[in-house]
């Protein structure tokens, strides 16, 4: 049962729709001085990168839900929530490290922290972090210190990986918008 948590996701089909790049003016310059073609390339790069995050299991559908909540009244919503996640999680990871270093480890306390992290990662769609937390909680329940310490390493690894991915994602989005392009929205058409 535990293996299934780390199985690679099935091949999913993606469709990205874009409203900016129009086929009939590929070489006209826009206000920012970049060509339609460059913006198109940037869009494609962003789409491919985003796709890879889903394919590799870093993100799940909940992240799309988050993106859908973003609107003109709150255009930085996703970045705000994800940044909050980074801050909150780093604190939790520090607390976990300390808690597991104690002479007498309080597994209930450890579990409470992992539960928090599991909740947050689930809420933003950070699937691999969430899955690592699920395994971690099992070891907490068993009061297996070695298992817990291995899990903490695993969770940390997944956290820093996804943090890196998010940073790249946001940078690509920023660059695209600065170049005058619009961010295509993702649609998962089959899974």
**How large is the C-alpha radius of gyration of the chain?**
20
163: Cβ contacts below 8 Å, ≥ 6 apart: 86
In order, the DSSP letters of 154-186 are HHHHHHHHHHHHHHHHHHHHHHHHHTT--PPEE
Q: With respect to another protein, which residue has the nearer C-beta, 62 or 149?
A: 62
Q: With respect to another protein, which residue has the nearer C-beta, 45 or 108?
A: 108
Contacting range for another protein; rule: CB under 8 A; set: 22-30, 81-89, 97-105, 167-175: 81-89
Q: How many residues make up the chain in this entry?
A: 191
Q: Based on the shown chain and the rule CB under 8 A, indicate whether residue 84 belongs to the binding site for another protein.
A: yes
Q: Based on the shown chain and the rule CB under 8 A, indicate whether residue 191 belongs to the binding site for another protein.
A: yes
Of residues 122 through 181, those in contact with another protein by CB under 8 A are 122-124
Return d(Cα 71, Cα 6) in angstroms, integer: 34
Query: Where along the sequence are the contacts to another protein (CB under 8 A)?
Result: 12, 17-19, 61-62, 64-69, 71, 74, 77, 80-81, 84-85, 88, 112, 115-116, 118-120, 122-124, 184-191
């Amino acid at each position: 049962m535990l293996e299934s948590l780390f199985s690679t996701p099935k091949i999913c089909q993606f469709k990205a729709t874009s409203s900016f790049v129009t086929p009939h003016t590929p070489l006209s310059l826009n206000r920012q001085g970049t060509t339609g073609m460059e913006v198109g390339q940037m869009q494609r790069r962003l789409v491919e990168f985003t796709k890879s995050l889903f394919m590799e299991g870093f993100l799940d559908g909940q992240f799309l839900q988050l993106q859908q909540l973003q609107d003109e009244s709150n255009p930085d919503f996703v970045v705000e929530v994800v940044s909050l996640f980074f801050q909150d999680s780093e604190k939790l990871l520090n607390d976990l490290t300390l808690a597991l270093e104690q002479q007498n480890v309080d597994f209930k306390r450890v579990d409470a922290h992992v539960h928090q992290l599991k909740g947050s990662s689930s809420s933003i769609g950070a699937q691999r972090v969430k899955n690592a937390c699920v395994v971690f909680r099992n070891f907490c329940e068993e009061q297996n210190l070695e298992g817990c310490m291995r899990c903490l390493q695993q969770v940390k690894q997944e956290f820093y990986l996804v943090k890196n991915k998010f940073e790249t994602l946001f940078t690509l989005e920023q660059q695209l918008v600065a170049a005058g392009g619009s961010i295509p929205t993702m649609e998962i058409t089959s899974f």
